[in-house]
Chains A and B, each alone.
Chain A
Amino acid sequence: MQLKNELDLLFWSSELLFTLAQLRQFPKVYWIWNHRIWVLENHLDSSVNIWKEELVMVSKLLKIDARNFHGWLYRRIIVRKIEQLTGEKKLFEELAYTTENINNNISNFSAWHQRTVLLSKIFGENENESNAKMIHDEFAYITNAMFTDAEDQSVWFYIKWFIKNKVVRETLEPSEYARLLQELHSNVVMINQDDLEFSGKENNWCLKILIVLDDVLKNIGIETCIEKKKCLEQLINADPLRKNRYLCLLNDGQ
């Protein structure tokens, strides 16, 4: 409070300019970002305007360097503040923003992560019916992504998060959920088979997701014809760095 009285508008704007100049040089230093938030919080102008301008700033920054996770975290803080100040939800706008970023670069891990955060929130607020539609669309989206690049870990991480998500499991009719999972399963098998034919090697990401799918399906009472044991044994050879993890999973299963 005392600060606000002593320091004028010029001080606060020059502080914003200063941090921008620093960010330009050091875009990955936590304390510049933290200081900038502090400046905005204490700015003489306490209206929503400076925050809206900040959203434009961070969008442009993410356009230059789309995978700066500091920028994505900062964006979440800014959006939350705008939502608080205006009372409007920006969930769908932000979801569209992540879609745009993922479309631009399927390997944008930060954008996929943002998508998990947003979908969790959206699922929590939506009606069941609209959630079901979103889940269907999302299945199509991830299928498209894994066919576009089956070597990209961000896509597989996202798929793993998505199929294990509680809302996804509980929203759909059990039979529909099972159908979508099985469809995903057969697509993963198809990609793996295709890799095997092309290069003589199976796709490690496919094997890993098949193990997860196997568990998820088993939980709803469906046995897959893929042998989890066989997948794990293959991974022990193909991915020796994580050998002990696979060994542990193998022993768990017995």
Chain B
Amino acid sequence: MLSPERRPSVAERRPHFLSFSSQNGCPLVVPHLAGIEDPLPESTPDKVDVLIVGTGMVESVLAAALSWQGSNVLHIDKNDHYGDTSATMTVDQTKKWVKEVNDGKFSNCYTNAKLYVSAIIGSGDRGFSSRDFGLDLAPKILFAKSDLLSILVKSRVHQYLEFQSLSSFHTYENDSFEKLTNTKQEIFTNQNLPLMTKRNLMKFIKFVLNWEEQPDVWESYAERPICEMLIEKFKLERPQVFELMFSIGLCYNMSAKTPEVLQRIRRYLSSFDVYGPFAVLYSKYGGPGELSQGFCRSAAVGGATYKLNESLASFDPSTKTATFEDGSKVTVSEKLVISPTQAPKYSQNIPEQKYEIHRLTCVVGKSCEEWFSEGESAAVVVFPPGSLKSGNQNVVQAFILGPGSEVCPQETSVWYLSTTEQGPRAEMDLDAALEAMETSIVRESSSDLENDESIVQFGPNGETMINSVKLGQSFKEYIPRERLQFLLKLYYTQYTSTPPFSVVDPSFFDINDENSKKLITGASDNGVLYTAMPSAEISYDEVVTAAKLLYEKIVGSDDDFFDLDFGDDDDVPIHNANYENAIEDDDDDEDNDVDMNFDVNRQGTTELVGEMEI
């Protein structure tokens, strides 16, 4: 039975997918799919090619890839919801999860969960209900130019989901949030940047877009931290260096090496303007939990069998027989893939998860639109090393989602903070960042500042500019009169085998190889593939790499990974009508969602027009 305590599924929210209605004259091409939410009640198959345990992000992408390739997949999850380590949960589901963590149910994956929930949630009349919230266990953002995004489009899983843009990146410095200056347009019109800084910044941005071809510029810095190159070679100043490293590059500390940071800075810059004036997207109604569900759905369309509320009790490597808690059995002819959180008892080969990620998730009683760009509902705030009272050595990253993202009700927002700092210092850093955010939002949303006209000034060419010096001063002198209301606060430590700043290593999946010398003789999970826990990375970038490696382990090669042909490409609607809309409709469409089909096509035509430029 389904738990009544769950948020509406992808299918339930978008009934027109099932009813095949054609709102704008374009029938959907993804096949009809009924009842994926219902676990198969009768029986599980006797024999499958691959059994996947846990419906996290990587497992779900893998399940979809395998089932479209033709493998016979059984995909189970012990929970009554999809997502596993990437789940999007209601408040009640979160409570249950916290209890499980503290009962030691997944001691090598999560520890030290502390949860506070305000009485307002679940209190009937004026309060919020548990399912008004969708809280991500491992929140993620999606770069507009990334391998996951192309797979989302290729597999048409993006049609199950809704994406919104995120263009607000702030770097916290000197007790205030500096908004990112990263486009040529912003650099040109920014009145506070000295002329030479503009030039140096532009020079760097141009360089980074094809840095690999210019080894003469960076080779001597290859083994050194990137900040040395930014300061010596590009003569950039501290604020720009921090912005490039920590907001654009999303690095964790000062020691990040040059080539890998260049790669990450380019990731941001080349994602910009792919779908519009922003580099990053996130999915509405929840992050990786939603995406996992979408890929599971795709896998089911491709022929995979799903069973929730089912856990693996044991596995016999000699007969390749998996036995479930309900007593049923299945023969796995090729591979068994298990998420470390759902391994059966007495498993001996679960990889060591030696890196800690400390996370703090809060729901606050303010919508925080002060931090968002116009028409958007999300922001990223980065606290560089040394910027916090706690003297943090590692970055604290905060991902903020407002009510427009549909993960929380009006007048609230969800704050996800995380750090790669190890040990007890981490929680101090998280608390310091939380305090800085709290102070900032309370004074920014205070009405005292709104009436002060001298903060907004007009530049010589009529552009508005915020007098940031003035803003900074009033920030420092401001003593908050109100306190922020916390509706929920959740601390936990997550463990992962992936070191900060890297993706899962191919050798990770070799550890359990039958031929490997490290195997424990006679262990019940010899030959089992364990997936990696989510890393500290705030983007989805590791997901495809990990799924592809597992796919290669199972199929033998990754040549046909999501090599999909729906055979109806001509039917995919091309939104010609949009040009007309752009001309004849008034601006400011209320809908801020990003339509990938439309924009990909538009991209094509603008390029064509560009060729004819004078």
Which positions in A face B, CB cutoff 8 Å? 20-21, 24, 27-28, 57, 60-61, 63-65, 67-69, 96, 99, 103-106, 109-110, 137, 140-141, 143-145, 147-151, 187, 190-191, 194, 198
Contacts and interface: CB of A to CB of B under 8 A. Distances in A.
Given A28-B612, A103-B461, A148-B199, 14 more contacts: A20-B580, A24-B580, A24-B583, A61-B583, A63-B582, A103-B463, A106-B184, A109-B614, A140-B460, A144-B195, A145-B188, A149-B202, A187-B195, A198-B203
Interface in B175-213: 184-185, 187-189, 195-196, 198-199, 202-203, 206
A93 B613 CA distance: 25
Contacts of B1: none
Interface string B451-483: 000000000111100000000000000000000
Contacts of B198: 144, 147-148
23 contacts: A24-B579, A24-B583, A28-B612, A57-B583, A63-B582, A64-B579, A64-B583, A65-B606, A67-B614, A68-B609, A69-B614, A96-B461, A99-B461, A103-B188, A105-B184, A109-B614, A143-B195, A148-B187, A148-B198, A148-B202, A190-B196, A198-B203, A198-B233
A110 B613 CA distance: 10
A28 B195 contact: no
Nearest to A140: B460
A31 to B, nearest CB: 15
Interface in B200-234: 202-203, 206, 233
Nearest to A145: B188
A64 B202 contact: no
Given A145-B188, A148-B199, A27 B609 contact: yes
A67 B612 CA distance: 10
**What 8 pairs across the A-B complex have the smallest Cβ distances?**
A147-B195, A148-B188, A147-B199, A60-B583, A99-B461, A24-B579, A103-B189, A147-B198
A159 B189 CA distance: 18
Given A141-B461, A145-B188, A148-B187, A20 B614 contact: no
A14 to B, nearest CB: 15
A137 B202 contact: no
A65 B185 contact: no
Nearest to A28: B612
A110 B614 contact: yes
B452 to A, nearest CB: 26
A28 B609 contact: yes
Contacts, number: 75
Give chain B's interface residue range (CB within 8 Å of chain A).
20 to 34
A115 B147 CA distance: 42
Contacts of A190: 196
B234 to A, nearest CB: 8
Interface string B577-614: 00110110000000000000000000000100110111
A145 B582 CA distance: 30
Contacts of A140: 460
B199 A194 contact: yes
B582 A60 contact: yes
B463 to A, nearest CB: 7
A106 B606 contact: no
Contacts of B613: 67
A237 B300 CA distance: 65
Contacts of A96: 461-462
Nearest to B196: A147
A141 B463 CA distance: 13
A60 B614 CA distance: 20
A137 B184 CA distance: 21
A20 B188 contact: no
Nearest to B201: A148
Nearest to A105: B185
Contacts of A147: 195-196, 198-199
Contacts of A191: 199
B180 to A, nearest CB: 17
